[in-house]
Amino acid sequence: MKGWLSCLSEAKVLRGDGEREEFSSLSYDSRKAKAGDLFLCMKGSTMDSHDKIPELLEKGVRVFVVEKNLPDLPKEMQEGEDLCIVQVENGRKALAELSAFYFSYPSKEMLMIGITGTKGKTTTASMVRAILTEAGYNCGLIGTTGIDYAGIHEESRNTTPESYTLQETFRKMKEKGCTAVVMEASSQGFKMHRTDGILFDYGIFTNIEEDHIGENEHKDFAEYKYYKSRIFTQSKTGLVNLDADFSEEFIENAECPCFSFALKKQADFMATEIEDLHRHDFLGCRFHFRHGEEDWEIWNHLPGRYNVYNALAAISLASLLGIKKEVVQSALRKIQVNGRMEVVLQRGGYTVLVDYAHNAMGMKNLLETLKAYKPKRLIVVFGCGGNRAKERRYGMGEVAGEMADFTILTADNSRYEKTMDIIADIESTLSKKTKNYVKIEDRREAIRYALEQAEEGDLIAVIGKGHEEYNEVNGTFTRFVDREVILEEAEREGK
């Protein structure tokens, strides 16, 4: 490929002729590099790929983008007359710019929707995708639950994948006929320059709370907030939850025009007359969406006020795009978000749902939401992951003891610990609050027991794994999907 040097915002040619130099492939993993590649060297927290340069030279790599000065590079770089070496200040930024160039800027060919926030990204993204799909868009999705497009699902290690993977995915999506992409844009994604080179048509901010602060994430809340706000430097139009903390600050500092949505404050888009409903065929919220002269009645098949916020963000976007009321109503009436307040079964007057809540705070929020529907009994099935902080077990046990009417303790990715040891840790706090619980080591048997005990009016929450499709024990992964197991056991029991 020619002309690549011009795509770099900051570049200094140390050796060779960058303007004329060509490369066949772009690489940043020394294990996959080959002759003809342009190799990008970066210094990471655990590895410095500059150290791999001698090995790369032996493979026949002759074009390098580096972060170091020439005297600081391996001695082989000083002697190679046929080498092209370009220095950049930030390798991750350069990777994003080169990746966009290498894949011919695919994001420019589709409607791009970016969503950031501490909570609600996954659900909002799924709602937006459902509405766009209902409206006739061929829509790809990138986020916590992986990458989905054209019937293809790919796992992703990060909510926002590495920039090369993002650009490669955009190109594959376009080739499969996608006309729109909805993606979760994490604060780490902005900080690590994974989203560089993308201009979102619409950027959505859901909310912000103190989270993701630590040694390998953000140094403090100020930094976390800063990177959340970066979405409005990479968007043509912003959409902001006006009820969220710091929303006015985000709007004031935005580099694009912004619209607002809210339940409480006066905003461009409003949700009013909110009503929690639990019927034999519906668990969720009914509310009115208002914008100017528009007044749409919405049935949102996801329970909880925070899901009204998520739905409102998606509906507001739809309104900006000119999507018709009937399309939005249809999409949200049948919405399902894998592992996020996912209603799996409504039969015999009881309801079973799956949720990803896997710590005390998430569990408390979930159970508070469900108790607002006044179930006859709130039954919770959960465990805790092995080789993780024990405080999580104690906290979840305490919450279950205080809020659930009946608890079934079971396995959840025990990893290299014994399941019954983990259950004993949970029980140590649970038992101080209630005696209404049982212990069933096998998760399938625990779900079966919950269904056997279900009565009309009950709400059963199977929590912790959410969208996960595996169970991990002693390094072995076996397929286990809560949703599938619930339906299989219900069929088996004839319930």
Contact residues for 436 (Cβ-Cβ < 8 A; gap 6+): 404, 405, 406, 407
The whole model's pTM is what?
0.85
- What pLDDT is recorded for position 107? 98
**Among 311, 307, 284, which residue's Cα sits nearest to residue 459?**
284
Is residue 393 over pLDDT 80? Answer: yes
pLDDT band at 117 (very low <50, low <70, confident <90, very high): very high
**Among 248, 192, 244, 193, which residue's Cα sits nearest to residue 216?**
192
What is the average per-residue pLDDT within 299-323?
95
Question: Which string of DSSP letters, residue by residue, matches 284-329?
Answer: EEEEEEEETTEEEEEEESS-SHHHHHHHHHHHHHHHHTT--HHHHH
- What pLDDT is recorded for position 214? 66
- What pLDDT is recorded for position 79? 74
- What pLDDT is recorded for position 334? 84
What is the average per-residue pLDDT within 11-39?
90
| 338-390 per-position pLDDT tens digit | 888 899 999 888 999 999 999 898 899 999 999 999 999 999 999 999 998 89
| 173-230 per-position pLDDT tens digit | 999 999 999 999 999 999 999 999 999 999 999 999 866 566 667 778 899 899 999 9
The CA-CA-CA angle for residues 313, 243, 218, to 5°, reads 85
Contact 373, 303 (CB under 8 A): yes
Instruction: Find tokens 């989203």 and name the residue.
Output: 195
How many other CB atoms are found less than 10 A from the CB of residue 245?
14
pLDDT band at 17 (very low <50, low <70, confident <90, very high): confident
**Among 48, 26, 40, which residue's Cα sits nearest to residue 104?**
26
| 128-181 per-position pLDDT tens digit | 999 999 999 999 999 988 999 999 999 888 889 999 999 999 999 999 999 999
For residue 25, what are the β-bridge partners? 37
Contact residues for 401 (Cβ-Cβ < 8 A; gap 6+): 407, 429, 430, 431, 432, 433, 434
What is the C-alpha to C-alpha distance for residues 130 and 327, in angstroms, rounded to an integer? 10
For residue 94, what are the β-bridge partners? none
- What pLDDT is recorded for position 436? 98
Please give the mean pLDDT across all residues of the chain.
93
**Among 308, 307, 288, which residue's Cα sits nearest to residue 298?**
288
What is the C-alpha to C-alpha distance for residues 205 and 231, in angstroms, rounded to an integer? 8
Task: Say which residue, 389 or 401, is predicted with more confidence.
Answer: 401
**Among 464, 461, 409, which residue's Cα sits nearest to residue 435?**
409
**Among 484, 393, 494, which residue's Cα sits nearest to residue 444?**
484
Contact 282, 245 (CB under 8 A): no
- What pLDDT is recorded for position 213? 65
pLDDT band at 301 (very low <50, low <70, confident <90, very high): confident
Tokens matching residue 246: 């710091």
